[in-house]
Chains A and B, each alone.
Chain A
Amino acid sequence: MAGVLAPILIYGTLFGLTYVLIALGFTLLFGISRVLNVAYGALYMVTAYIIYWLVVEQGYDLLISAVIAVGVAILVGVAIFLLCVRFAPDPLRFLIVSFMFALLLQYMFSYYFHGASGFVIPSLIPIKGILIYGVSVNPVYIVTAGVALVLLFALWAWIEWTSYGHTIRATAEDPETAALFGIRVRQVYLIVVVVSSALVAIAAVLIVPATEVVPTMWIEPFVIAFVVAVIGGLGNFKWTLPAAFLLSFSQETVAFLYPTSQSLTDIVAFVVAICFIAALPHGFGGLLREST
């Protein structure tokens, strides 16, 4: 019995929390500024490539490189956001332009490394598998899960309890009125973008060592972030955790039932998202919402 449940429970929980970490910045950004930033995944990719270049090609120290990479990702994220907001403020064009930025970065990295792909970057956490209840687990995910929990709580505390968090929520509700009350809306957005970019970059630092670096790697974190956000109710980031768990547990269950299929997980994500949208266009958050 435990042999059946253990992998699903353990992987489900760990991957679920990993998804939380990946999705957190995206949901935050959307919840506050109402933009769907396709380039979000690209920041994940940027972090990974910077670390690769600094550590593997240039030989710098991993920790310092990680910090620099996060910094670069933040800068890129802010730059893209500012450009888009300034010149393409409506959600549809923002979407197209951010998508194109993601493609641009993909092409740039592909070109710079002459099409070579499948790099591996070193990890801050030892990768050797540990056994938990007979299930082989990569410690990377344990640490990631822990960090996810901490950051989730920290973010929530920041938004709900601090006065600046209050400012942010006011801006999210109604930017025009907030501006009338002296809130510096652009500054709020900027800070949110910085935090959002930092979150996805940190996720990359922790997770990417367990996978590989390819020019199309921006797609997966984006898909995860988006699906989690949709299930949770776009903008409703207190529902990120249950949404991520729904996704990870359904994936693990399917993976357990059909162990030979590798990319079934993506399909499951897609199917789950579609079913959710068909049934509950506003996700979990919509269930409890009263007005149209």
Chain B
Amino acid sequence: MSLLTVSHVTRMFGGNRAVDDVSFEMTDNTLAIVGPNGAGKTTLLNLIAGQLHPTHGMIRFRDRNITRFPPWRVARMGMVKTYQIVRPFRSLTVDENLVLFSELRGTVDREEVLAETGLTDWRNYPTGALPFGLLKRLELAKGLATNPDLLLLDEPIGGLSRTEALALVGTLAALKARGVRMLIVEHRLAEILPVVDRVLALDRGRVIFHGSRSEFYHDSAVRTAYLGSSDVGG
């Protein structure tokens, strides 16, 4: 059964087609959505998560039509989005941030989530005191605390130093290994591609590529649109 099906989804802002007739299907793998700035990646992610509604098209999650669902309902069904610009609950401690969600869909062991994201030592710190790198990890932890079937990650390593980014990608790899399914929007291809199975590339709202990671490396359309002709690296 396909986990997520996006069919001919279009989203317009005024006359601008931010997302233009995008269709793809996602089963049991890790998908990355890539593209240059303004390609519509974050808009697409917001559409999938329910924070925006498409002008046309349909989105199905676990074989249910979630196109018009409000975000909280989508999250209850098991698909949760994390924020690119982190949004922790600042007056609460790290652990309390997780407590908010950990009983929503079955009981989630917060200790395990904290351990997986490397936040165990910080569990009683007020989030206002945490440095940026840890806040990015907390963002991930909050998503995990909801016991998601599909985690939507919006630029999870955005703004991190190379070392921090690689460490976080290591965490993502571990999550992937234990069966967490992820859809990742990311700019920093070199660091993120190793944990990704399939790639969807957007340019100006349209899909220009959808295939496996290795196919992505070699697709000329992608290279021209996104990378010029420079090497992807990684």
Task: Enumerate chain A interface residues (CB-CB to B < 8 A).
Answer: 290-292
Contact = CB atoms under 8 A, between A and B. Distances in A.
Contacts, number: 8
Contacts of A290: 12-14
Q: Which 8 interchain pairs have the tightest Cβ spacing?
A: A290-B13, A292-B52, A291-B13, A292-B51, A290-B14, A291-B52, A290-B12, A292-B53
A291 B14 CA distance: 9
Interface string B1-45: 000000000001110000000000000000000000000000000
Nearest to B18: A291
5 contacts: A290-B12, A290-B13, A290-B14, A292-B51, A292-B52
Interface residues of B, number: 6
Given A290-B12, A291-B13, A291-B52, 5 more contacts: A290-B13, A290-B14, A292-B51, A292-B52, A292-B53
B85 to A, nearest CB: 13
A256 to B, nearest CB: 41
Interface string B161-181: 000000000000000000000
A217 B147 CA distance: 55
Contacts of A291: 13, 52
Interface of B: 12-14, 51-53
Contacts of B12: 290
Nearest to B50: A292
A292 B12 CA distance: 12
Contacts of B52: 291-292
Contacts of A292: 51-53
A94 B20 CA distance: 42
Nearest to A291: B13
Contacts of B53: 292
B91 to A, nearest CB: 13
A173 to B, nearest CB: 15
A65 B13 CA distance: 51
Contacts of B14: 290
A236 to B, nearest CB: 16
A220 to B, nearest CB: 37
B95 to A, nearest CB: 26
Nearest to A290: B13
A267 to B, nearest CB: 33
A292 B51 CA distance: 7
A292 B53 CA distance: 8
A290 B51 CA distance: 13
B106 to A, nearest CB: 30
A90 to B, nearest CB: 12
Contacts of B13: 290-291
A292 B43 CA distance: 11
Nearest to B52: A292
Contacts of B51: 292
A292 B47 CA distance: 11
A165 B53 CA distance: 33
A291 B11 CA distance: 10
A59 B52 CA distance: 62
Nearest to B51: A292
A216 B13 CA distance: 45
A290 B53 CA distance: 10
A140 B82 CA distance: 57
B75 to A, nearest CB: 16
A290 B11 CA distance: 10
A13 to B, nearest CB: 33
A290 B15 CA distance: 11
Nearest to A288: B14
A292 B13 CA distance: 11
